[in-house]
Amino acid sequence: MIGYGFMGAAHSVGWRQAPAMFDLPRAVEMAVVVGRNAEAVAQAAAQWGWQESATDWRSVIARDDIDIVDIVTPGDSHAEIAIAALDAGKHVLCEKPLANTVAEAEAMLAAAERAAQRGARAMVGFTYRRVPAVTFLRDLIAQGRIGRVQQVRAAYRQDWLVDPGMPLAWRLQKEHAGSGALGDIGAHIIDMTQFVTGQQVEAVSGVTETIVKRRPLLESGSGLSGTAAEGFGDVTVDDVAIFTGRLEDGALVSFEATRFATGRKNALTLEVSGDEGALAFDLEDLNALQHYDRSAPEGLQGFSKVLVTEAVHPYVSAWWPAGHMLGYEHGFVHQAKDLVEGIVAGTDPHPTFAEGLSVQRVLAAVDESAARDSVWVRTSAPAHV
């Protein structure tokens, strides 16, 4: 695993728990975690159960005993590391968004396609797909439970940047993060919408805003926190992105990605309305799904809560008895399971780099639309709709 911050902790839990909870077709060894700070990455290895630590990712990729490279670094290094790993014949798991630009994502997909000819697989880490309720929501739409999808509302709201004293971390710098709320959390709701509907976002119209434009510089620390130094630096990414999308069949989607929703800590919500019913999911109630059935008697119509903890629900049979809840970390366990099973079966585990590129194109189209007074922009090629 290359990187060891917040996502490094989450991925480590996934790698550690997947072999214990699922009957994987191959044994998994957590061989080495890589970071630039030798002392800090050694501490991370000891804490999370990695056999060793290292500071040079290139030498680790060259090792014969490494089969999978898991990338949890900032976005500006995704392309370089992933392409090198794939060209070395390694399987690759890369955190979302796939890259910082469409060109980088295209190069990564090309590397994945070359590597696939030699049996290597590549997957993007959109873990919210693997929350059982979200996978179940997708399955119900595919079964026709809500009929034809007519409208989607997707939002991801956080508030960790409301304080103007929050230091200028890497996520607030375009050269490292690529974009702000749009790429960081907006990528999740774009992927989730495409995943559950089975349709691509074909065009978008949007606006973005940077609410706090200058923040205290960081003296130390490379994550979301650190010691503030004297002076201020420019925030070069968006704080809020609000945009409309149109799916392949013409249905409209409203998207909101913000890190300025005061009081909202991790509020990812998705509601899909069809001509025969509706389904709604809220990450802050992640074991449940809301279902509305228009065929019910008139006096009994209303959203009903489905507790997605039964053995018949996706992934759940490996865990606890019905009603015993799962949490945020379980998506990373399911991610590790699906990747290992795909590798052993010789099939591409989803989401593929092609799916990651499709999200990247939506992000780029939103950026272009916002820069051009919210004109409609196609996601396949920058042009008016």
**pTM score:** 0.94
By the 8 A CB rule, do 353 and 108 touch? yes
Does the domain spanning 6-128 belong to CATH 3.40.50.720? yes
Q: Helices 353-371 and 102-116: crossing angle, nearest 10°?
A: 170
Q: By three-state DSSP, how is residue 240 classified?
A: strand
Q: What is the pLDDT along the chain (385 residues), one digit of tens a residue?
A: 999 999 999 999 999 999 999 999 999 999 999 999 999 999 999 999 999 999 999 999 999 999 999 999 999 999 999 999 999 999 999 999 999 999 999 999 999 999 999 999 999 999 999 999 999 999 999 999 999 999 999 999 999 999 999 999 989 999 998 899 999 999 999 999 999 999 999 999 999 999 999 999 987 544 444 555 679 999 999 999 999 999 999 999 999 999 999 999 999 999 999 999 999 999 999 999 999 999 999 999 999 999 999 999 999 999 999 999 999 999 999 999 999 999 999 999 999 999 999 999 999 999 999 999 999 999 984 433 3
Q: Is 152 left (phi over 0), alpha (psi -120 to 50) or beta?
A: beta
User: What are the structure tokens assigned to 374, written together?
Assistant: 């919210």
Q: What is the pLDDT of residue 220?
A: 53
C-alpha–C-alpha distance, residues 154 and 190, integer Å: 8
Among 152, 151, 87, smallest CA distance to 122 is for 87
Supply angle C-alpha 198, 201, 206, rounded to 5: 150
Compute the Cα dihedral for 54, 106, 376, 278 and give only its sign: negative
Q: By three-state DSSP, how is residue 243 classified?
A: strand
Q: What is the pLDDT of residue 222?
A: 44
C-alpha–C-alpha distance, residues 141 and 247, integer Å: 15
Q: What is the pLDDT of residue 221?
A: 47
Q: Rg of the chain's alpha carbons, rounded to an integer?
A: 21
Q: What is the pLDDT of residue 218?
A: 82
Among 9, 130, 124, 34, smallest CA distance to 78 is for 124
Q: Is 102 left (phi over 0), alpha (psi -120 to 50) or beta?
A: alpha
Q: What is the pLDDT of residue 380?
A: 83
Rounded to whole angstroms, what are the CA distances from 182 to 106, 186, 188, 251?
Answer: 19, 4, 9, 21
Tokens 């949490």 locate to 327
**Record: fold of 130-349+360-369:** Dihydrodipicolinate Reductase; domain 2 (3.30.360)
What is the residue extent of each domain of the chain?
6-128, 130-349+360-369
